[in-house]
Structure 1
Amino acid sequence: MSATTDVDVVAGLTAFQRDLLRALAKTDEQSGLSLKTDLRTYYGEEINHSRLYQNLDELVAHGLINKRRRDGRTNSYSLTAAATTALEERDAWVRGETA
């Protein structure tokens, strides 16, 4: 049995979770509110608060994003190096540059 790679983890994410990673890749170190605003603009509809934060927590658990306390109420999110690499490898795959 082969070990699970970061690319495997990203391949198994939902489209919403990959969109969260893409939003962070555009502008790293964002608050949940700024991510929610960015995705609301993309989807053209309101993003449910619990959907957003449950998915952010899952991405933290997968080791794809870092979460740090910005102040008493606000957390800040950023991509891990593993997520950046996995997204780059996925992009290469989509372009047909890898086997």
Structure 2
Amino acid sequence: MHGLTAFQRDLLFVVAGKSKPAGVAIKDEIEEYYEKKIHYGRLYPNLDTLIDKGLVEKEKKDGRTNGYIITNRGRRELQARCDWENKYYN
């Protein structure tokens, strides 16, 4: 999680919570949570960062649509984050 923005961390949580979501599904979830419009120009570069860091993989669903999948490393990073938060919250 080191080096991720809060937005990237939230994207990672959404990807982890869905089964191979497309970008538009991720965008919808984030917009609902943030209660504001998220532009694709913000969404996809941040998803690419998660891919570059080995936390998410991208898979072709069809000719235009990609699905995003959390990696094992991504799951370990999320678990470590949740453990850290619970140390202070509970």
Check conservation: 1:66, 1:77, Cα contact below 8 A.
Answer: yes
- Other structure's SS at 1:11 match: coil
1:26 to 7, 10, 17: 17
Note if contact 1:23-1:38 (Cα within 8 Å) is conserved in structure 2.
yes
Measure the CA separation in 2 of the matches of 1:78 and 1:95.
Answer: 25
Q: Separation in 2 of the partners of 1:96 and 1:12?
A: 21
Deviation at 1:90, TM superposition (A): 1.3
- Structure-2 residue corresponding to 1:59: 50
- Of all paired residues, the percent bearing the same amino acid is 41
Q: Could you tell me how far 1:62 is from its partner in structure 2?
A: 0.5
Q: What RMSD, in angstroms, separates the aligned Cα atoms of the two structures?
A: 1.2
Q: Distance in 1 between matches of 2:85 and 2:19?
A: 23
Where structure 1 has 5 or more consecutive residues not aligned to the other structure, the ranges are: 1-9
3-state SS of 1:96 partner: helix
Greater Cα shift, 55-64 or 21-30: 21-30
Q: Which consecutive aligned stretches of 4+ in structure 1 deviate over 2 angstroms post-superposition? A: none
Q: Structure 2: 5+ residue runs without aligned partners?
A: none
* Conserved 8 A contact 1:30-1:77: yes
Which runs of structure 2 are paired with 1:1-99 in the superposition (5 Å)? 10-96=1-87
- Counting matched residue pairs gives 88
* Distance in 2 (alpha carbons) for counterparts of 1:96 and 1:84: 18
Describe the superposition over 1:22-81 as per-residue Cα deviations: whole angstroms up to 9, x where unpaired. Answer: 111221310000000000100111101110000011110100001011111000001000
Q: Of the two, which has the highest radius of gyration?
A: 1
Compute the TM-score of the two structures, normalised by the length of structure 1: 0.84
